[in-house]
Chains A and B, each alone.
Chain A
Amino acid sequence: MSYLDRQGKGGLTSWIFSTDHKRVSLLYLALMTAFFWVAVGIGVAMRLKHLSGSDFLVSARTYNALFTVHGVIMVFMFVIPGLPAVFGNFFLPILIGAKDVAFPRLNLLSWWLFLAGACLALLSLFTGPGAPDTGWTFYVPFSLRTGTNVSLAVFAAFVLGFSSILTGINFITTVHRLRCEGMTWHRMPLFVWAIYSTGWIQVLATPVIGITLLLVILERAFGIGVFDPARGGDPVLYQHLFWIYSHPAVYIMIVPAMGAITEIIPTFARRCIFGYRAIAYSSLAIAGLGSLVWAHHMFTSGMADLANIIFSLLTFLVAVPSAIKVFNWTATLYKGSVDMQPSMLFALTFVFLFTIGGLTGVMQGALGLNVHLHDTYWIVGHFHYVMFGGTGFAFFAALLYWFPKMFGRQYDPKPAYAAWVLMFLGFNMLYGSFMVLGAMGMPRRYFAHLPQFHSLHLAATAGSWALVAGLAVLFGNFLAALRRGAPAESDPWGGKTLEWTLPSPPPPENFDKLPVVTGAPYSYNPKAPA
């Protein structure tokens, strides 16, 4: 019997009130996939608008709402919950040999909070004065003055934040308390290390954004004067508070992605990971250093020069642990036996695109150059390389990797390769054009663009079509596999971590008898004892 089989009376309630971590994982997956496609649609609409430099398709006001909603949905409802909510929920307990997370009911509550936040966000689009038009950063005092639905939208983000905090607490406790016999810290799969590091960022950083967003609501409703300069408040204070969370949030988004990649590469290279401890500790280093670099989003805000210098220096330092990971992934291919399955192809593409995102991040971390690049399409290109080329491609790689285990069905690899070609070309055409546009001085969040930027905008829009076509093929292939895919073996890729010891799909409480672990997680060719 698998966790997918009918339970109790069956039907929807056996899902939305299930405390099984695997069912909760699929609840997240369903909701997040729906929001992902909504935000993709909005992104495509924005690209279509830029087929013309001036008035076209939508009004300026609608356009400002589009990029705000695109950002809010993608950040708060897809990329932040992202890999922890789906793959962390499903595989964290299994990978450490547990029957469920530490607090299964809290886990279900987290999903309900996520649903509530998502509904509030939708409500803010279609009720009252309409969708917020401030950008997802809600910078004051514009977010205080605008007549649009800012209060409801930031309240939605506030509720979503609680979902994230509770998930973090749950995962940290699970790792500390529920490891099976023999699962020492240094025998944990590296995805577990990544989810664990992420949990700490979620717990420590998210409350800051919660308080900040509440202050925005209070300021809008009662004019309490914390942020509004007309009442003695300080807009730059808001920016500090916003980024104290929102920069670590970048690592909430990328560290679990790195963790998933670290599972995929050894499996398809059929050898152990290179530099286990370097990768494990670099996750912790990113979590720590990453909480000290927030003000690099504010080099032009007019804060003190010394603060600028310190934050620039720290920004360069935080790039080191990411570089270490990239080198170790590459070295893991050395003397391996590489099977280029779609999942592996997406994982290695992650390394390529994330390296571009990371290196451009290093470039713009330099103070002098940042002044030119800040708030341009360069930045938009950079963070799409990190968030989409990084977290997005890692999400797809993880889905391709774990799909047979999660659903018990195998997909056809050929459409997945075709999807990769379209996505890779489209992605680079779209966001590569953005980076050149930014270097030329095209500011972000512009409804109309000047003529010198037009040809690159056309190239970017054409790229967006290829990218979306690739996404459609990828998801269509998954849907086809769900309907009529061949039954999956328990270990289709030859993986060595605990999830591959279970049937596909796994039974409701994972392990009949809890496993006992005796060695490192990725031992493919253990040397004969000397």
Chain B
Amino acid sequence: MSYILPQASSVSLSIDRYFLGSLALCLAVLLLVTFFIVYFSIRYSRARNPRPEDIEGNAALEVVWTVVPLALFLVMFYFGWTDFRTLRNPPPDALAVQVTARQWSWSFEYPNGKRTGELYAALGRPMRLELRSADVIHGFYVPAFRVKIDVVPGRTATAWFLPRLLGDFDILCSVICGTSHSAMLSKVRVLAEDEFKRWYFSDDRSPRPANALSKGGRDARPPDSTSPRAAGAASGGRAAPRPSQAGRADRGAALLGEKGCLSCHSVDGSTMVGPTFKGLFGSRQKVAADGKEQVMTADEAFLRAEILEPDLRVIDGYPAVMPPSELDAGEADAIVSHLKRLAK
């Protein structure tokens, strides 16, 4: 299995053993049945055996091919259950991370209040996830970990893993959740324990050598790594003391990654679900509000309103799918400052 998918968590080893074991067993049964079908078809073809013989059945054979599969299936059931037991019982010392799924992004909040749009984990340290959905059902799926759990609104789902390989691994949404279901992607970045700790107890949004680590990174999105260390941005966007204009814009840039805005809005001018942020500030936009169409300038007030109350006005040519904001006014201002910068 490691040829087609890394075995990046502790449980992946035993799940793969099960996969290969049951696959081998099933292939053996398939080959056996196929062999007899082909052999009988040739050996007893009409040319070779023109005079068939009626054999109505054989009670002993019926018992054998009822009991033997039953026994094999019960063994398969048992080992499937033991893997599941492991998956369902996180170790008590696991670091608890709160996960919020929404159309179409993931956000992660650590016990000390740090928030990220990608999940950071330490090699060899168990992590427990408590997952909630803000809208419809999503599925948290990390193939390299063999971990998946549906995130059903109104419930708290739990999952856990213990990373055994360094590197970046895909987080995918596994339950159809709307237009951009297949763009609801993120990553787990597994760091060495000391590196993880350094980051965890620092003011940094993302570990600084993250770029060096992300070899083979396919994700074109620039989530946290685009933001240089934001001087004024304390962890979790809380208690930021009077940020400077540039500092505020930097914080806005970081928020775009954290809050999942970049799942639907590009910063390079390409069209995604929503309008691109590049050159958005100051542009003229045709909008529909209260059933009427009008052309408006995307100034500070316009953008702030779009972020905080997306249902109010819908920009022409884009679906009305932007979820209600969880941002406060200060955060919206920070994003607007950054958008202003992107206009240049």
Of A116-124, A369-377, A406-414, the one touching chain B: A369-377
List which A281-308 residues lie within 8 A (CB) of chain B: 299-302, 305, 308
In the complex, which residue of chain A has the Cβ closest to the Cβ of B216? A452
Q: Is B30 in contact with chain A by the CB < 8 A criterion?
A: yes
Instruction: Flag B15-37 by CB within 8 Å of A: 1 or 0 each.
Output: 10011001100100110011011
Residue A399 CB within 8 A of the other chain:
no
Once A269-B52, A359-B30, A524-B54 are accepted as A-B contacts, the answer to whether A338 and B148 lie under 8 Å apart by CB is no
Contact A368 B52 (CB under 8 A): no
Residue among B14, B153, B177 making CB contact with A230, cutoff 8 Å: B153
Verify B37–A142 contact, CB threshold 8 A. no
Taking a contact as CB atoms closer than 8 A, the residue among A133, A320, A328, A334 that contacts B73 in the complex is A320
Beta-carbon contacts under 8 Å, B45-80 to A:
45-46, 49-58, 61-62, 65-66, 69-70, 73-74, 76-77, 79-80
Q: Indicate whether A64 reaches chain B with its CB closer than 8 angstroms.
A: yes
- Nearest residue in A to B12 (C-beta to C-beta)? A372
Which single member of A235, A309, A324 contacts B154 (CB below 8 Å)? Answer: A235
Interface residues of A in 336-378 (CB under 8 A from B): 336-340, 348, 351-352, 355-356, 359-360, 362-363, 365-372, 374-376
A366-B83, A367-B80, A449-B182 given as contacts; is B141 within 8 A of A375 (CB)? Answer: yes
- Min CB gap B164→A, angstroms: 16
- Interchain CB contact under 8 A, A371 and B84: yes
Given A272-B55, A371-B15, 6 extra CB contacts under 8 A: A60-B179, A300-B148, A368-B82, A372-B146, A524-B52, A525-B51
- Please tell me if the beta carbons of B147 and A302 are within 8 angstroms of each other in the complex: no
Please report the C-alpha to C-alpha distance between residue A127 and residue B332 in the assembled complex, in whole angstroms: 39
In contact, B34 and A369 (Cβ under 8 angstroms): no
Q: Are B80 and A370 in contact (CB under 8 A)?
A: yes
Query: In the complex the two chains form, is B53's CB within 8 Å of A443's CB?
Result: no
A333 to B82, Cβ gap below 8 A? no
Report which of A334, A365, A452 forms a contact with B80, defined as CB distance below 8 A.
A365
Q: List the A residue with the shortest CB-CB distance to B83.
A: A368
Is A527 among interface residues, defined by CB-CB distance under 8 A? yes
Q: Is the CB of A368 within 8 A of B87?
A: yes
10 A–B contacts, CB within 8 A, in A order: A61-B179, A64-B176, A145-B135, A312-B84, A316-B76, A330-B37, A331-B55, A331-B61, A436-B4, A440-B4
In the complex where A348-B37, A362-B73 touch, is A374 in contact with B218 (Cβ < 8 A)? no
Q: Which residues of A contact B (CB under 8 A)?
A: 60-61, 64, 133-135, 139, 141-142, 145-146, 229-230, 234-236, 269-272, 274-278, 299-302, 305, 308-309, 312-313, 316-317, 319-320, 323-324, 326-328, 330-331, 333-340, 348, 351-352, 355-356, 359-360, 362-363, 365-372, 374-376, 436, 439-441, 443, 445-452, 523-527
Number of B residues, CB within 8 Å of A: 85
A370 proximity list for chain B (CB < 8 A): 80
Interface centre among B19, B37, B56, B176 (most CB of A within 10 A): B176
Cα A236 to Cα B57 in complex, Å, equals: 46
Evaluate contact between B143 and A272: CB separation under 8 angstroms: no
What's the nearest-Cβ distance from chain A to residue B322, in Å? 13
Query: Known: A64-B181, A362-B73, A371-B84. Contact between A142 and B136, CB under 8 A?
Result: yes
- List which B170-224 residues lie within 8 A (CB) of chain A: 170, 172-183, 185, 218
Q: Could you say which of B5, B154, B319 contacts A440, with CB atoms under 8 Å apart? A: B5
From the candidates A276, A369, A445, name the one contacting B83 in the complex (CB within 8 A): A369
Whether A234 pairs with B182 at a CB distance below 8 angstroms is no
Nearest B residue (CB) for A302: B157
**Would you call B18 and A450 a contact (CB within 8 A)?**
no
Q: Does B298 contact A (CB under 8 A)?
A: no
A368, B36: Cα distance in complex, Å? 33
Complex CA gap A60/B69 in Å reads 44
B55 in contact with A274 (CB, 8 Å): yes
Q: A360 touches which one: B26, B146, B178, B182 (CB < 8 A)?
A: B26
Beta-carbon nearest neighbor of B152 in chain A: A235
A448 B73 Cβ-Cβ under 8 A: no
Contact of B62 among A146, A278, A449, A452 (CB under 8 A): A278
B163 interface residue, CB < 8 Å from A? no
Question: In the complex, what residues of B have CB within 8 A of residue A448's CB?
Answer: 182-183
A351 touches B150 (CB 8 A): no
In the assembled complex, B226 has its CB within 8 A of some CB on chain A? no
Whether the pair A356, B30 counts as a contact (CB closer than 8 A) is yes
Asked whether, in the complex, the Cβ of B182 is within 8 Å of the Cβ of A374, the reply is no
Q: Are B176 and A229 in contact (CB under 8 A)?
A: no
Q: Which interface residue of B5, B45, B175 has the most chain A CB atoms within 10 A?
A: B175
Interface residues of B (CB under 8 A from A): 1, 4-5, 11, 14-15, 18-19, 22-23, 26, 29-30, 33-34, 36-37, 40-41, 44-46, 49-58, 61-62, 65-66, 69-70, 73-74, 76-77, 79-84, 86-88, 135-137, 139, 141, 143-144, 146-150, 152-155, 157, 170, 172-183, 185, 218, 273, 319
Cα(A272)–Cα(B172), bound, Å: 53
Beta-carbon nearest neighbor of A301 in chain B: B150
- Nearest CB of chain B from residue A397's CB, rounded to whole Å: 14
Choose one: A272, A316, A372, A441; the contact of B56 (CB below 8 Å).
A272
Q: Is the CB of B56 within 8 A of A276?
A: yes
Least CB distance, B218 to chain A, in whole angstroms: 6
Residue of A nearest to B270 (CB): A55
Interface pair A133/B179, CB less than 8 Å apart: yes
CB distance from B52 to the nearest CB of A (A): 4
Asked, given contacts A309-B81, A441-B172, whether A333 binds B19 with beta carbons under 8 Å apart, the answer is no
Residue in B closest to A305 when the chains form the complex, CB atoms: B88
Please state if A369 and B22 are interface contacts (CB–CB under 8 Å): yes
Complex Cα–Cα for A473 and B141 (A): 41
| Chain B hits for A331, CB < 8 A | 55, 58, 61
* CA gap between A488 and B309 in the complex, in Å: 72
| A338/B46 in contact, CB under 8 A | yes
Let me know if A335 and B44 touch, CB within 8 A.
yes
Q: Which of B26, B54, B73, B178 contacts A142 (CB 8 A)?
A: B178
- Cα A324 to Cα B62 in complex, Å, equals 7
Q: Which 6 pairs across A and B sit closest by C-beta, in order of nearness?
A: A368-B83, A441-B143, A366-B80, A229-B154, A367-B84, A333-B40
In contact, B5 and A336 (Cβ under 8 angstroms): no
**Residue in A closest to B182 when the chains form the complex, CB atoms:** A446
| Bound CA–CA A302/B150 (angstroms) | 7
- Complexed CA–CA distance, A308 and B185 (Å): 28
Partner of A335, one of B29, B52, B157, B172: B52
Could you say which residues of chain B place their CB within 8 Å of the CB of A234? 154
- Decide: A235 and B153 in contact? CB cutoff 8 A: yes
> Which residue of chain A is the closest to B11 with respect to CB atoms?
A368
B80 proximity list for chain A (CB < 8 A): 312, 365-370
Q: Which residue of A lies closest to B273 (CB)?
A: A60
Q: A275-B62, A366-B83, A441-B170 are in contact. Are A135 and B176 (CB under 8 A)?
A: yes
A330 touches B52 (CB 8 A): no
With A366-B22, A366-B76, A376-B174 already in contact, the answer to whether A441 and B5 are too (CB < 8 A) is yes
Residues B54 and A443 in contact, CB atoms below 8 Å apart: no
